[in-house]
Amino acid sequence: MSQKPPHRRRFAVGLVAALVVGVGLSQWALVRARAKENHARAERVALVSLNALVEMVARAGGAGEATRRAVTAFARESSALTAIRVVAFDGLSLEASTAYADTGDRAAPRRLAREEKPLYDQGQRLRAAIETNRQEGAARKEEIEVVPSASGGLALAAPLEKDGSVVGLVAVETSPLPPAPRTGWLFPIVVLLVAVAVFWAAAIAVGERRGALALFALVVLVVAMFAVGRHANTMVAADVRSSESAVAAAVVAEEARAANVVQEASLGDARLLHPAAWDADHFRRPLGIVGADGKLDEARRAGEMGRIAASTARVLGSFAVLALAVLVWVGFGFASRLGATLRKHRQAYAYTFPALFGMLLLVFLPFLYGVVLSFSDMSLYTSQAPIGDLFTKLWVGLKNFTDILGDFHVATSTAAGLVWNYQNIYWTLGITIIWTVTNVAYGVGMGLFLALILNTKGLLGRPYYRVIFILPWAMPNYITALIWKGMFHQQFGVFNQIIQMFGGTPVSWFEKTSTSLFACIATNAWLSVPFMMVISLGALQSISADLYEAARVDGATRWQQFRSITLPSLKPALVPAVILSVIWTFNMFNIIYLVSAGEPGHSTEILITQAYKFAFEQYRYGYAAAYSVVIFAILLAYGIWQNKVTKATEGI
């Protein structure tokens, strides 16, 4: 460090960075919130008109001349909605339309054309949604669809009900939405400049005292964020208030228009309309803020304002924490230390950057995402949901894990004996352990055995044996798996031919857990020997012959030589190979998946194939992710234990 610590400069830079982050993010959030409110306002106003229209059409019976009169009258009275279309499911007919395309020989009433099927489908979707919601007594599926229209407005569709069942739909479009309000950048910039000026003035007075500087910077940052927050809250609240007024005005206006339409189309008594229900959400539940007379419910509105303030505080609070982190990071010199490190080792980082970046994007990021998934109940139906939903709507906490690990019903005892629950993780774990231990033990034993034989001096044809023995390793393992599956075929497979050759009865290999697992292990054993053999052989060949010479001179027996020379020399090569082999076998997806496919009844699944089935046969992504996290935890525990035991990673 230099004699004069650069605290003041660091804190100033840190404060500027923190303010840019905090104030900038707040401003960005404000712009977004206002645009959203602008959109929501247009949507609510459009919904008021649509709900009024639907009520009118329903009164007119949803079909026939009365409906057409009502729609025509409504269209003349209200210019907010264009392209009104009324579809009746009965007869697939377009009952009324003010759309430009539906004039001349395409004028209503007529049958829907083939290319208008999406319209019909939309109606059926809404019907299904309403039925689902009624059955579940919940508001889960939207009963009104709102999507952007081609002309920059909104396209809305509402169901048409008659005697409690959905008989058609009303689809409308709005004129293009008003542009989002402009949000000035003057205020945040002034806040930023003032904050920096105040801090600098104070910093000159204080000098290079780190504690005081940190405190000042903190206070300035908090005050600035508070100012920005108040400003944002005021603007959003004003927007919301003007939305409420706009909706209230729309309700009053629609009510007046509806009265005219009711009279003109002779639809009964105008006083029996329900304008209080027109300002509603997508589940057709009245919001209840705007009353029938256009008056606002002040208590509800106050509650609404409180909620807005709270959410603003929450969002800006998180930005403030982020800004504070930046301030601390820069102010206390962490940033400059990092910069110095990067500069000092720039060559090393340049060499490793491409690999590390790729690993971050395609290995560690997916891993983290998978871990997040494991706390959600994401399934095929919710797989398109935005990431934010994982932490809110789809979040189930530890439920997946308690479901998986807390289920101890491994077996039920019945009159016929124990009935195993093959979907239980403890059963699958047991199978996985049997699978892994058997395969690795056989691989090491057979590999070492063959290697010792092949290492015999002067043995004829050693290279040829070696090449032949390596073949199973060279073969793609999915091909091996499919070949063995064919050889274990119950009717035509080679193994059953051999059994029959000696007078036995053919075995249905994949109808019993034991034989099915045997078939898988036999396949994997065949292909896992060469790896161990090659590793052992390589290590054996590197043992100096002098060692054996010396041992023989000292009178050591063959067994003593093996124990004291061969095994210790093999250890450095074999231990990492065994660790790798355990992990590979534990995760050996292809063999189980292709040979037994878990038959019979998922009893021969290992953990990894079971997780795959949960994900891609039952489409329970969240559950499958949690299952995979459990697998990972098991492997990690194994790795740590193994590392402790062998210190295999010594000396990196």
Partner 1 sequence: MSVGSRTGEFPHVPLHVILLIYVVVTLYPLLWVFTIGFSGQQGLMIVDIPANATFLDRLRAIMPWPAHFSFSNFTSVFTEQPFARWLLNSVIVATATTILGVFLACTAAYAFSRFRFPGRRAGLMSFLVSQMFPGTLMLIPLYIIIVQWLGLGSNFIGLILVYSITGIPFCVWMLKGYFDTIPRELEESALMDGASAATIFYRIVLPLAKPAVAVTALFSFMTAWNEFIQAATFMDKANMYTAPVGLRFFVGGFSQQWGYFAAGAIVTAIPIVVLFLFLQKYLVSGLTAGAVKG
**What is the footprint of partner 1 within residues 548-607 (CB under 8 A)?**
548, 552, 558-559, 561-562, 565-566, 572-573, 576-577, 583, 587, 589-590, 594, 607
Query: Mask 434-453, x = binds partner 1 (CB under 8 A)?
Result: ----------------x-xx
Q: Where does this chain touch partner 1 (CB under 8 A) — which range of 59-67, 167-175, 427-435, 534-542?
A: 534-542
DSSP secondary-structure letter at 273?
-
Q: Where does this chain touch partner 1 (CB under 8 A) — which range of 180-188, 192-200, 252-260, 622-630?
A: 622-630
Q: How far is the CB of 338 from partner 1 (least distance, A)?
A: 9
The single residue among 14, 229, 447, 472 that binds partner 1, judged by CB under 8 A, is: 472
Q: How far is the CB of 425 from partner 1 (least distance, A)?
A: 14
Scan for tokens 């009178």, then name that residue.
Answer: 555
Q: How far is the CB of 356 from partner 1 (least distance, A)?
A: 7
Q: Tell me: does residue 334 bind partner 1 (CB under 8 A).
A: no
d(CA 403, CA 508): 34
Scan for tokens 């247009």, then name that residue.
Answer: 42
The single residue among 311, 341, 544, 618 that binds partner 1, judged by CB under 8 A, is: 341
Q: Tell me: does residue 480 bind partner 1 (CB under 8 A).
A: yes
Residues 191-250 contacting partner 1, CB under 8 A: none
Smaller CB distance to partner 1: residue 406 or 476?
A: 476
- Residue 457 CA to its chain's centroid (Å): 59
Judged on CB neighbours under 10 Å (0-12, 13-18, 19+), 354 is exposed
The single residue among 120, 329, 518, 526 that binds partner 1, judged by CB under 8 A, is: 526
* Cβ-based neighbour number of residue 288 at 10 Å: 12
d(CA 111, CA 368): 53
Smaller CB distance to partner 1: residue 185 or 357?
A: 357
d(CA 65, CA 75): 15
The torsion angles phi and psi of 81, rounded to 5 degrees, stand at -105, 130
Smaller CB distance to partner 1: residue 97 or 477?
A: 477
Query: Mask 85-104, x = binds partner 1 (CB under 8 A)?
Result: --------------------
CA atoms within 13 A of residue 347's CA, in its CB half-sphere: 0
Q: How far is the CB of 628 from partner 1 (least distance, A)?
A: 3
Q: Are 167 and 161 a contacting pair, CB within 8 Å?
A: yes
Smaller CB distance to partner 1: residue 106 or 345?
A: 345
Q: Tell me: does residue 475 bind partner 1 (CB under 8 A).
A: yes
The torsion angles phi and psi of 4, rounded to 5 degrees, stand at -100, 105
111 DSSP β-pair partners: 93
| Tokens linked to 171 | 């689809």
Q: How far is the CB of 141 from partner 1 (least distance, A)?
A: 23
Q: Could you tell me which residues come within 8 angstroms of residue 200 by beta carbon, excluding any fewer than 6 positions away?
A: 12
Q: How far is the CB of 613 from partner 1 (least distance, A)?
A: 9
- Give the CA radius of gyration of the chain: 37
Residues 344-373 contacting partner 1, CB under 8 A: 345, 347-349, 351-352, 354-356, 358-359, 361-367, 369-371, 373
Long-range contacts of 300-303 (CB under 8 A, 24+ apart): 301/244
Q: How far is the CB of 435 from partner 1 (least distance, A)?
A: 15
d(CA 129, CA 169): 13
The torsion angles phi and psi of 83, rounded to 5 degrees, stand at 50, 50
Q: How far is the CB of 319 from partner 1 (least distance, A)?
A: 25
Q: How far is the CB of 488 from partner 1 (least distance, A)?
A: 10
Q: How far is the CB of 635 from partner 1 (least distance, A)?
A: 4
The single residue among 471, 544, 601, 618 that binds partner 1, judged by CB under 8 A, is: 471
Q: Which amino acid type is present at position 370? A: G
Report how far apart, in Å, the C-alpha atoms of 289 and of each of 250, 271, 371 are.
13, 21, 41
Q: Are 513 and 604 a contacting pair, CB within 8 Å?
A: yes
Q: How far is the CB of 29 from partner 1 (least distance, A)?
A: 23
Q: Tell me: does residue 391 bind partner 1 (CB under 8 A).
A: no
DSSP secondary-structure letter at 112?
P
Q: Tell me: does residue 635 bind partner 1 (CB under 8 A).
A: yes
Scan for tokens 């069942």, then name that residue.
Answer: 165
The single residue among 545, 546, 553, 555 that binds partner 1, judged by CB under 8 A, is: 545
Q: How far is the CB of 170 from partner 1 (least distance, A)?
A: 34
Q: How far is the CB of 590 from partner 1 (least distance, A)?
A: 8
86 DSSP β-pair partners: 96, 170
Residues 487-506 contacting partner 1, CB under 8 A: 487, 489, 492-494, 497-498, 500-501
Smaller CB distance to partner 1: residue 128 or 348?
A: 348
The single residue among 219, 405, 470, 507 that binds partner 1, judged by CB under 8 A, is: 470
Q: Could you tell me which residues come within 8 angstroms of residue 179 by beta carbon, excluding any fewer than 6 positions away?
A: none
Q: How far is the CB of 359 from partner 1 (least distance, A)?
A: 6
SS3 at position 520:
helix
Q: Where does this chain touch partner 1 (CB under 8 A) — which range of 142-150, 166-174, 292-300, 540-548?
A: 540-548
Q: Return the C-alpha torsion angle 543, 549, 553, 557, nearest 10.
A: 60
Smaller CB distance to partner 1: residue 150 or 474?
A: 474
d(CA 229, CA 509): 70
d(CA 101, CA 99): 5
Q: How far is the CB of 389 from partner 1 (least distance, A)?
A: 13
Number of residues that bind partner 1 (CB under 8 A): 109
If you write DSSP's letter for every residue of 330-378 in order, what string do you get? HHTTHHHHHHHHHHHTHHHHHHHHHHHHHHIIIIIHHHHHHHHHTTB--
Smaller CB distance to partner 1: residue 226 or 584?
A: 584
Q: How far is the CB of 10 from partner 1 (least distance, A)?
A: 21
Query: Mask 132-171, x = binds partner 1 (CB under 8 A)?
Result: ----------------------------------------
Judged on CB neighbours under 10 Å (0-12, 13-18, 19+), 600 is middle
Q: Are 118 and 127 a contacting pair, CB within 8 Å?
A: no
Report how far apart, in Å, the C-alpha atoms of 496 and of each of 482, 491, 499, 507, 526 are.
17, 7, 5, 6, 18
Scan for tokens 């878990």, then name that residue.
Answer: 598
Smaller CB distance to partner 1: residue 555 or 651?
A: 651
Q: Tell me: does residue 544 bind partner 1 (CB under 8 A).
A: no
Q: Tell me: does residue 631 bind partner 1 (CB under 8 A).
A: yes
- Residue 532 CA to its chain's centroid (Å): 39
Smaller CB distance to partner 1: residue 311 or 564?
A: 564
Smaller CB distance to partner 1: residue 225 or 582?
A: 582
The single residue among 120, 420, 465, 518 that binds partner 1, judged by CB under 8 A, is: 465
Smaller CB distance to partner 1: residue 259 or 371?
A: 371
